[in-house]
Copies of this chain bind each other. A is one copy, B any other.
Amino acid sequence: MTDTWLPSLIAATPQAGFELAVKLSRVGVKLTQPSEEMRDKLRAAYEQDTAQLIAASQVVAVHFQTIAAANNYGRS
């Protein structure tokens, strides 16, 4: 991944910040398992496993904390 996929932590709205958190979660997995074919195969399994869906949601929560702080929590 030599291209730019994270130019900034600034998000226009809290919701855009949440979506950025989801993206960061996915990139975190991608950097560990770079094969898209393998990730697709794995996704089929974990999308049906609530324990893993919750764990994925936890990763999003941690990234959202970072992004919310970066955006001063949407306060002007």
Residue numbers of A with Cβ under 8 A of B are 4-10, 13-15, 18-19, 22, 24-25, 27-29, 31-33, 38, 42-43, 45-66, 68-70, 73-75
Q: Which B residues are in CB contact (< 8 Å) with A8?
A: 14, 74
Provide the bound-state CA to CA distance between A9 and B7, in Å: 18
Tell me whether B51 and A51 are in contact (CB under 8 A).
yes
Q: Which B residues are in CB contact (< 8 Å) with A38?
A: 47-48
Tell me whether A48 and B42 are in contact (CB under 8 A).
yes
Tell me whether A18 and B13 are in contact (CB under 8 A).
no
Given contacts A24-B64, A53-B42, contact A9 B74 (CB under 8 A): yes
Identify A55's interface contact among B5, B55, B62, B74, CB under 8 A.
B55
